[in-house]
Homo-oligomer: A and B are copies of this chain.
């Protein structure tokens, strides 16, 4: 089984609060094993830990890193590969095969990402070359890496869970 982590760069606490939270929830829901936030925003990490506690974890980890570049370098020293998601990269739909190394770090930026990441990533991948969102880019990338199978996996240790309904809501264990 592969190990996939997501590193979120350039988070601005006021402006990016909800987007960064959604990036973290996508990481968890679409089968990554961890979410790392460059910089310090305790509210977001608390929200992610709270979701993980209530909805189950499958061992999902989250935390903060001081320096994204140092984290990328450490990852590479540990024989991991780095995929940077950017609309300027090679279009995922033109790739005959997605990279699937044993250890993959997916780097997701905010508005502006330092050139260093483009040069040091093993892959710069565009989820299409049109503007949309880091939330959707990460989701599509993980969905394709997991070949669409991640969306019906169970989460160990869940306190609450949804019973899918044709209409209305059913939640058990609340």
Total interface residues on A, CB under 8 Å, equals 57
Complex contact B132–A139 (CB within 8 A): yes
Q: Mark A110-153, 1 if CB is under 8 A from B, else 0.
A: 00000100110100101111111101101110011000111110
The interface residues of chain B lying within 8 Å CB-to-CB of A94 are 152, 164
Complex contact B22–A124 (CB within 8 A): no
Which of B19, B129, B148, B164 sits near A22, CB closer than 8 Å? B19
> Known contacts A130-B29, A133-B135: does B22 contact A89 (CB below 8 Å)?
no
Which of B22, B89, B148 sits near A133, CB closer than 8 Å? B22
Complex contact B88–A169 (CB within 8 A): yes
Complex contact B168–A115 (CB within 8 A): yes
**Interchain CA distance A152-B164 in the complex, whole Å:** 33
A156 at interface, CB cutoff 8 A:
no
**Interchain CA distance A55-B143 in the complex, whole Å:** 26
Minimum distance in angstroms from A6 CB to a CB of chain B: 13
A3 at interface, CB cutoff 8 A:
no
* 10 interchain residue pairs of minimum CB distance: A136-B139, A22-B133, A128-B151, A135-B135, A129-B162, A29-B130, A88-B169, A29-B132, A93-B152, A93-B151
Q: A22-B135, A89-B166, A118-B169 are in contact. List 15 more A-B contacts (CB 8 A).
A: A26-B132, A29-B128, A30-B136, A89-B164, A90-B165, A90-B166, A91-B164, A93-B148, A94-B152, A118-B167, A124-B165, A128-B151, A135-B135, A135-B136, A136-B139
